[in-house]
């Protein structure tokens, strides 16, 4: 009996939320939940955040000799002040973020990731809310590039839909060529394989590995302000008969260890175009050292003993 | 109530830990353990299905609306509600062993993960695609299965702790950790040696002390595996400090009202028991009549000597009843006998004892002021078993040196809730009861009634054999059982049926405890008769 009532209630909630997700009782519920749990999350994250950051930093540092480096790091962190170390890391993140924002002339609000979504969604919670001037649809970025967009705001927290989420669609512009396309997230996948999927409207577009993407301009700069670096094309998929050109994009941002992020509260007055992009990963000319083998040079070791003999 | 609070706290901790810590860890593989799901599983394993469903629903709803809101509101509520219900259901099936419980929790966690994925694929399609499920689900299930036993253990420990908090307020002298197993085992272990020798005023008077431990042992001290899974049984009798409770059994008079009946219980020491091997004298303890009676409104007049053997009333746990004018009104359902031949409810038919004759073996103890000074058990030759006098007890009733005089000492009247020496307390006494049934001494240990026994403790669970024992004749009021006719005919005050329970079987206690308890290592002695006993 109780079970039946609860199941019906759950189904009713799902239906209501499905019908009008952005309004109605679902929104009120989310607001209430955000008020309660957002506060709890920010409090808890203030305590547990350093540990999580430490775990993520140390686990992602090196693959070979990981045990040795971990042990070294543990010893180091026990002898030194770990908090100071982590503040340094945060400082680095923040400074790179500010540099990026300065290049693009974004006015940003710095925030910290305090929670991450559950299940198959790729969402995070930031510790900035309406009190800090955050609105739904603001772009979120960090020192490396685009992170996502704000989907829900509470008084103290906001929820961000990451660019890697399966429902996320980001309009992009290819650097230098200016072709327009969009990038969709892969959803939740194993770590390291989260490549975004790029589709370019022009099926004859000349995509090449190493091309960079920035966000395209949106109407009223929502949900994405223009000019934020997204990623770099890693693999071009040529599919015959497809209406769009397809490619896989390696995002600039490491979505597995998000720390300090910035929320763009005021877009730039003009489109920064590609000025924010990091220096293009130009193909390094492989130094082909041509060694001309001369008989004298090659034979020089041998004549010596022969000469000696 | 404590469990509800504890569940809420556990789930809140799990929720915040999940969102702020676990999800942010970049664990190998795409998945991560779902602490909320595992907590729902563990809490569901400790509660009833409806409770589990409610807890699961609430936890899922909280997870749905917690800030990085994921899906549609209600998805997790739906799934966790089902999972909680399922866990509550399988708990009853799986409480046979710890391994099965852990396996059940693992299976429930895996099923919950699969349900989440399935529901997500059904109703929030772009987010939960088949490829994502393929990548995430296996590792998530692996993490859940790995973490689930630990979380289950922690939650069950916490639940037991909460239960022990509730019990500590009631129990006196119970170990502080609240483990019912430990409490039952320790106290029963210390209790029964003192209780095996039926004799001595101290023991008889302090039988209320026996009542607690045995009662708690009888059904409140479950087996280890059972107790861990079902730490809170609503009908679990608890070890209470107050002995003068409904169903508490007094063998002999209770202690003075002013004295705590549970003095022995509190200190954990048995009252001074009679020595073994010595002909036990059923001496009237220093007691107040009616102190063990559950209903004070039917209080009996105080009488000095009240070695009462065979309470005639339901729920009164005295070994015998106080005689007097008040007793006539209260029942005597055992012996609604001929007026004048004996006090109603008295186990012993016979002439009404003459007032003023000291019946007690210890007149000093017995002579405490009562309104009714009549001795109950006198060296009356016509009363075969009723004498509490030393001489009579030795000569007539207990040692039965006279062939024609069969002791008709009846301990335990077979009434419901009267907890004399017998009943479910003496689960190990199945053999004893059987043996006694075949003997002239119709000492009945263990009446097999619900609630009786446990030496006075209320045994909450109905013994499985109780159903068939209802029609057992208790006290014959016919002439055969009369005291007078007993003498001549050599008849005994028969129990009506021989084996009360457990005939041909080993003792229930032995079976339940795997042989750790219930063996007849010591004996109850009534006179020189070994009537069986328990360790």
Residue B146: the pLDDT is 92
Where residue B10 falls (left for φ over 0; alpha for ψ -120 to 50; beta otherwise) is alpha
Judge contact between B206 and B270, C-beta under 8 A. Answer: yes
Residue B92: the pLDDT is 75
Residue B473: the pLDDT is 42
Nearest Cα of chain B lies from the Cα of A134 at a distance, in angstroms, of 15
How many beta carbons lie within 10 A of that of residue A6, not counting itself? 25
Q: Which of A168, A164, A171, A170 is nearest to A187 (CA)?
A: A164
Strand partners, B72: none
pLDDT, one tens digit per residue, over B344-389 is 444 444 444 444 444 433 444 333 444 444 444 444 444 444 444 4
A118, part of any domain: yes
How far is the C-alpha of A257 from the C-alpha of A53, rounded, in Å?
7
Q: Which of A105, A276, A189, A5 is nearest to B81 (CA)?
A: A5
How much is the pTM? 0.53
Q: pLDDT at residue B439 above 70?
A: no
Q: Are residues B161 and B288 in the same domain?
A: no
How far is the C-alpha of B327 from the C-alpha of B376, rounded, in Å?
13
Cα radius of gyration rounded to whole Å, chain A? 25
Give B24: exposed, middle or buried? Use CB within 10 Å, 0-12, 13-18, 19+.
buried
Count each helix (H run) and each strand (E run) in chain A, helices first.
Answer: 6, 12
Q: Under an 8 A CB cutoff, do B116 and A256 touch?
A: no
Q: Under an 8 A CB cutoff, do A116 and B68 touch?
A: yes
A10, part of any domain: yes
- Of the candidates B53, B116, B133, the beta carbon closest to that of A6 is on B53
Q: Under an 8 A CB cutoff, do A41 and B75 touch?
A: no
* Spacing of C-alpha A212 from chain mean position: 14
Per CB-CB distance under 8 Å, the chain B contacts of A190 are 29-30, 135, 139
More confident residue, B99 or A192: B99
Residue of B nearest to A38 (CA): B67
**Buried-state track B62-77, b at ≥16 Cβ within 10 A, e below 16:** bbbbbbbbbbbbbbbb
A294, part of any domain: no
Q: Are residues B163 and B235 in the same domain?
A: no
More confident residue, B177 or B102: B102
The string of DSSP letters for B280-340 reads P--PPPS-BTTTT-S-GGGPPPP-S-----S--STT--BSS---SHHHHHT---S----TT
A308, part of any domain: no
Q: Are residues B181 and B110 in the same domain?
A: no
Strand partners, A148: A140, A162
The string of DSSP letters for A55-101 reads HHHHHTT-STTHHHHHHHHHHHHHHS-HHHHHHHHHHHHHHHHHHHH
Per CB-CB distance under 8 Å, the chain A contacts of B71 are 119, 121
Q: pLDDT at residue B448 above 60?
A: no
- Residue B41 binned pLDDT confidence (cut-offs 50, 70, 90): very high
Q: Are residues B126 and B206 in the same domain?
A: no
Q: Under an 8 A CB cutoff, do A120 and B117 touch?
A: yes
Which stretches in chain A have pLDDT values below 50?
Answer: 60-62, 298-309
Range of the domain at A247: 1-60+70-276
**Side-chain-facing half-sphere of A28: CA atoms under 13 Å:** 4
Backbone angles phi, psi at B373, to 5 degrees: -95, 15
Nearest Cα of chain B lies from the Cα of A269 at a distance, in angstroms, of 31
Q: Which of A171, A126, A165 is nearest to A264 (CA)?
A: A126
* Prediction ipTM score: 0.76
Confirm or reject contact between A165 and chain B (CB < 8 A).
yes
Q: Under an 8 A CB cutoff, do A116 and B61 touch?
A: no
Q: pLDDT at residue B17 above 80?
A: yes
More confident residue, A153 or B209: A153
Question: What is the average pLDDT score of chain B?
Answer: 56
Q: Are residues B73 and B205 in the same domain?
A: no
Nearest Cα of chain B lies from the Cα of A63 at a distance, in angstroms, of 12
Continuous H helices in B66-129: 75-94, 98-123
Range of the domain at B50: 2-168
Q: Are residues B49 and B105 in the same domain?
A: yes
Confirm or reject contact between A119 and chain B (CB < 8 A).
yes
The string of DSSP letters for B28-56 reads SSS----HHHHHHHHHHHTS-HHHHHHHH
pLDDT, one tens digit per residue, over B78-96 is 999 999 999 998 887 766 7
pLDDT, one tens digit per residue, over B100-156 is 888 889 999 999 999 989 988 888 767 788 888 888 899 999 999 999 999 999 998
Residue corresponding to tokens 């240990």: B445
Q: Are residues B91 and B205 in the same domain?
A: no
Last residue of a domain, one of B138, B168, B198: B168
Last residue of a domain, one of B105, B139, B168: B168
How many beta carbons lie within 10 A of that of residue A140, not counting itself? 31
Residue corresponding to tokens 């990038």: A183
Residue A40: the pLDDT is 84
Nearest Cα of chain A lies from the Cα of B9 at a distance, in angstroms, of 13
Q: Are residues B162 and B180 in the same domain?
A: no
pLDDT, one tens digit per residue, over A121-137 is 888 999 888 888 898 88
Q: What is the CATH number of the domain that holds B72?
A: 1.10.1760.20
Query: What does the block give as tokens for B528?
Result: 């020189």
A145, part of any domain: yes
- Of the candidates A10, A119, A186, the beta carbon closest to that of B120 is on A119
Q: Under an 8 A CB cutoff, do A21 and B131 touch?
A: no
Q: How far apart are the first and last CA of chain A?
A: 105
Q: Under an 8 A CB cutoff, do B78 and A10 touch?
A: yes
Last residue of a domain, one of B137, B153, B168: B168
Q: Which of B72, B194, B484, B176 is nearest to A22 (CA)?
A: B72
Strand partners, B495: none
Q: Are residues B363 and B502 in the same domain?
A: yes
A306, part of any domain: no
Residue of B nearest to A191 (CA): B30
Nearest Cα of chain A lies from the Cα of B116 at a distance, in angstroms, of 8
Residue A1: the pLDDT is 78
Judge contact between A123 and B129, C-beta under 8 A. Answer: no
A138, part of any domain: yes
Residue A86: the pLDDT is 60
How many beta carbons lie within 10 A of that of residue B340, not counting itself? 8
Cis before A223 (ω within 30): yes
**Domains of chain A: total:** 1
pLDDT, one tens digit per residue, over B300-341 is 445 444 444 544 444 444 343 433 333 333 333 333 434 444
Q: pLDDT at residue B254 above 90?
A: no
Q: pLDDT at residue B484 above 80?
A: no
Per CB-CB distance under 8 Å, the chain A contacts of B61 are 10, 13
For a pLDDT cut of 90, what percent of chain B falls above it? Answer: 13
| 3-state SS record for B385-415 | CCCCCHHHHHHHHHCCCCCCCCCCCCCCCCC
**Domains of chain B: total:** 2
Q: Are residues B273 and B206 in the same domain?
A: yes
Residue A83: the pLDDT is 61
Q: Are residues B117 and B186 in the same domain?
A: no
Residue of B nearest to A258 (CA): B24
Q: Are residues B501 and B371 in the same domain?
A: yes
Interface of A with B in 209-248 (CB under 8 A): none
Per CB-CB distance under 8 Å, the chain A contacts of B141 are none
Per CB-CB distance under 8 Å, the chain A contacts of B117 are 120
Query: What does the block give as tokens for B335?
Result: 């012996």
Give the three-state DSSP class for A232. Answer: strand
Q: Under an 8 A CB cutoff, do A120 and B16 touch?
A: no
């Amino acid at each position: 009996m109780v079970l039946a009532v609860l199941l019906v209630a759950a189904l009713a909630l799902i239906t209501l939320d499905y019908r009008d997700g952005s309004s109605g009782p679902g929104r009120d519920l989310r607001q209430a939940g955000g008020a309660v749990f957002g506060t709890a999350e920010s409090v808890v994250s203030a305590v547990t955040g350093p540990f999580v950051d430490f775990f993520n930093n140390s686990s992602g540092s090196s693959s070979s000799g990981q045990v040795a480096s971990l042990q070294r790091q543990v010893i180091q962190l026990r002898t030194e002040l770990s908090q100071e170390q982590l503040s340094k890391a945060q400082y680095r993140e923040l400074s790179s973020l500010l540099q990026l924002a300065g290049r693009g002339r974004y006015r940003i609000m710095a925030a910290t990731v305090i929670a991450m979504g559950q299940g198959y969604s790729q969402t995070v919670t930031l510790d900035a809310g309406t009190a800090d001037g955050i609105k739904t649809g603001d772009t979120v970025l960090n020192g490396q590039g685009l992170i996502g967009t704000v989907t829900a705001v509470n008084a103290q927290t906001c929820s961000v839909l990451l660019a890697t989420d399966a429902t996320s669609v980001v309009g992009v512009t290819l650097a230098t060529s200016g072709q327009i396309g969009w990038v969709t997230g892969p959803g939740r996948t194993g770590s390291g394989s989260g490549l975004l999927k790029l589709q370019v409207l022009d099926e004859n577009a000349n995509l090449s590995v190493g091309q960079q993407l920035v966000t395209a301009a949106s109407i009223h700069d929502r949900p994405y302000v223009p000019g934020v670096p997204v990623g770099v094309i890693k693999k071009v998929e040529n599919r015959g008969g497809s209406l769009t050109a397809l490619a896989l994009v390696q995002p600039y941002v490491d979505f597995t260890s998000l720390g300090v992020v910035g929320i763009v509260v005021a877009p730039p007055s003009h489109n920064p175009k590609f000025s924010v992009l990091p220096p293009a990963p130009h193909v390094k000319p492989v130094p082909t050292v041509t060694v001309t083998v001369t008989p004298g040079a090659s034979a020089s070791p041998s004549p010596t003993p022969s000469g000696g003999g | 109530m404590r469990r509800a609070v504890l569940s809420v706290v556990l789930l809140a901790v799990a929720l915040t830990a999940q969102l702020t810590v676990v999800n942010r860890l970049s664990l190998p593989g795409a998945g991560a353990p779902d602490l909320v799901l595992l907590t729902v599983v563990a809490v569901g394993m400790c509660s009833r299905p409806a409770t589990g469903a409610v807890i699961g629903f609430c936890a899922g709803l909280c997870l749905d609306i917690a800030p990085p809101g994921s899906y549609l509101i209600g998805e997790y509520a739906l799934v966790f509600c089902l999972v909680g219900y399922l866990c509550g259901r399988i708990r009853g099936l799986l409480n046979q062993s710890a391994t099965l419980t852990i396996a059940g929790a693992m299976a429930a966690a895996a099923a919950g993960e699969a349900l989440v994925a399935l529901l997500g694929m059904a109703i929030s399609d772009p987010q939960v695609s088949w490829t994502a499920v393929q990548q995430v689900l296996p590792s998530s299930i692996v993490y859940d299965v790995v973490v689930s036993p630990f979380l289950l253990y922690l939650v069950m420990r916490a639940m037991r702790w909460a239960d022990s908090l509730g019990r500590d307020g009631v129990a006196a002298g119970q170990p502080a950790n609240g483990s019912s197993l430990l409490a039952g085992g320790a106290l029963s272990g210390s209790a029964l040696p003192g209780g095996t020798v039926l004799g001595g005023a101290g023991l008889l008077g302090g039988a209320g002390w026996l009542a607690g431990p045995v009662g708690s042992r009888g059904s409140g001290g479950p087996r280890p595996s059972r107790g861990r899974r079902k730490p809170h049984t609503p009908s679990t009798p608890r070890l209470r400090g107050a002995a003068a409770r409904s169903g508490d059994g007094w063998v002999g008079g209770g202690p003075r009202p002013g004295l705590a009946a549970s003095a022995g219980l509190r200190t954990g020491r048995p009252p001074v028991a009679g020595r073994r091997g010595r002909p036990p004298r059923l001496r009237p303890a220093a007691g107040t009549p009616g102190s063990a009676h559950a209903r004070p409104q039917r209080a009996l007049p105080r009488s000095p000597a009240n070695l009462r053997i065979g309470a005639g009333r339901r729920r009164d746990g005295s070994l015998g009843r106080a005689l007097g004018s008040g007793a006539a009104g209260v029942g005597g359902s055992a012996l609604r006998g001929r007026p004048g031949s004996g006090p109603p409810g008295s186990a012993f038919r016979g002439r009404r004892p003459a007032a003023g004759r000291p019946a007690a073996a210890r007149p000093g103890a017995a002579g405490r002021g009562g309104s009714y000074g009549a001795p109950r058990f006198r060296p009356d030759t016509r009363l075969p078993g009723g004498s509490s006098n030393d001489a009579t007890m030795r000569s007539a009733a207990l040692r039965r040196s006279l062939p024609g005089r069969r002791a008709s000492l009846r301990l335990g009247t077979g009434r419901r809730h009267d907890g004399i020496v017998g009943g479910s307390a003496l689960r190990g006494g199945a053999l004893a009861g059987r043996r006694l049934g075949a003997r002239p001494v119709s000492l009945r240990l263990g009446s097999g009634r619900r609630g009786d026994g446990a030496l006075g403790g209320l045994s909450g669970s109905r013994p499985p054999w109780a159903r068939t024992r209802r029609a057992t004749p208790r006290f014959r009021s016919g002439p055969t059982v009369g005291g007078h006719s007993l003498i001549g005919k050599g008849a005994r005050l028969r129990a009506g049926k021989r084996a009360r329970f457990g005939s041909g079987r080993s003792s229930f206690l032995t079976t339940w405890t795997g042989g750790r308890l219930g063996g007849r290592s010591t004996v109850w002695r009534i006179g020189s008769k070994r009537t069986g006993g328990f360790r």
